[in-house]
Structure 1
Amino acid sequence: MALPRPASTWTGGMDLPSKLFERGSDDYELYEQEDEFVLAVELPGFDPAELTVSWNDGTLNVAGEHEDEFRSTRRTYHRRFRFPKTIDEDAIEAEYQNGILTVRLPMAVDAAMTGTEIEIES
């Protein structure tokens, strides 16, 4: 039976949750719901005025910058999300509550894709 691998060799002997040291990001959830995409990003500790959400040619940009003068720390966040379908950019909505930024991106009505079945040759 194979033993689970530690997050790294230097944390192997410590009893730490490996999620603390994972690469990649689990700070957001993106899903399609009815006729829109919904993006939820975990950004605890930010003030809504410190966040910027912008749309440019099929790409959603989410950025944030938080300075804690008391602790002399600065936190930044920046991520880009590309969307495969046409989005009704005038109807994009963003809301920030309890440390979660939720962006709703409705698909343009004329962008509904019905798809085409591809014949498989044998």
Structure 2
Amino acid sequence: MGSIRIRIAKDFERLEEQMRQMMDNLFGPVNPAAAVPLPRFRPAVDVYETPGEMVIRMELAGVVKEELSLTLNQQQLNISGRRRFYTNDPVQRFLQLEIDYGLFARTFQVPRLIEESQIRAEYNNGILEVRLPFRPPTPAKTITVKEE
């Protein structure tokens, strides 16, 4: 029963987006904020830590590398992009449309300080893998108290 509700919710989201686009095409955006596209889906991710790094694996089949954006701001990693609908076929009508298209964005909190110069990101076979190496712990510093 749960998967049916999710599918119906996605169908209504698509219908809402199509109606919004039709209204925007006919009358223009209602306000400037309406012209800003919002993320439409959340790609599946696996996030885990090893003793020396945090690893994020994101499922992005069909997304071209040039459509990806990764930014690190303090201890927050943002991954965003777009999956476009591509076809060379003259589509008469859709019989089934289950793949999510459009903008996506995910944000991850990095639990520890990392070595920013050693961050690695690879995209192979539809999987984006980001490795964030942790900074080694700094040794405790002894502070001497002076007497006056």
Instruction: Indicate whether the TM-score tops 0.5.
Output: yes
Please name the residue that 1:51 is paired with: 68
1:41 alignment partner, one of 58, 61, 64: 58
Q: Quick one: which amino acid aligns to residue 56 of structure 2?
A: L
Q: Which moved more, 1:77-86 or 1:26-35?
A: 26-35
Specify which structure has the bigger relative contact order, considering alpha-carbon pairs within 8 angstroms and separated by 6 or more residues: 2
2:48 alignment partner, one of 31, 34, 48: 31
CA RMSD between the two structures: 3.1
Q: Gaps (5+ residues) in structure 1?
A: 1-5, 13-17, 113-122
Q: Is the 8 A contact 1:64 1:78 kept in 2?
A: yes
Instruction: Report whether the alignment pairs 1:66 with 2:68.
Output: no
Q: Is the 8 A contact 1:51 1:64 kept in 2?
A: yes
Q: Equivalent pairs: percent with the same residue?
A: 32
What is the deviation of 1:87? 1.1
Q: Quick one: which amino acid aligns to residue 52 of structure 1?
A: S
What is the deviation of 1:69? 5.3
What is the deviation of 1:111? 6.0
Measure, in 2, the Cα distance between the counterparts of 1:31 and 1:39.
7
Give the aligned length: 97
1:7 alignment partner, one of 2, 7, 10: 2
Measure, in 2, the Cα distance between the counterparts of 1:21 and 1:33.
38
Change in 2 beyond 3 A, CA 1:76/1:48: same
Q: Is the 8 A contact 2:43 2:60 kept in 1?
A: no
Measure, in 2, the Cα distance between the counterparts of 1:56 and 1:44.
26
Q: Gaps (5+ residues) in structure 2?
A: 10-41, 92-99, 140-148
Superposition TM-score, scaled by structure 2 size? 0.56
Whose Rg is larger? 2
What is the deviation of 1:26? 7.3
Change in 2 beyond 3 A, CA 1:87/1:99: same
1:18-76 Cα shifts (integer Å, max 9, x gaps): 7x679xx6700000112001100001100111111111110000011133354899521
Superposition TM-score, scaled by structure 1 size? 0.67
Ranges of 4+ aligned residues in structure 1 off by more than 6 Å:
none
Measure, in 1, the Cα distance between the counterparts of 2:84 and 2:45.
22
What is the deviation of 1:77? 1.2
* Structure with the larger helix share: 2
Instruction: Report whether the alignment pairs 1:80 with 2:107.
Output: yes
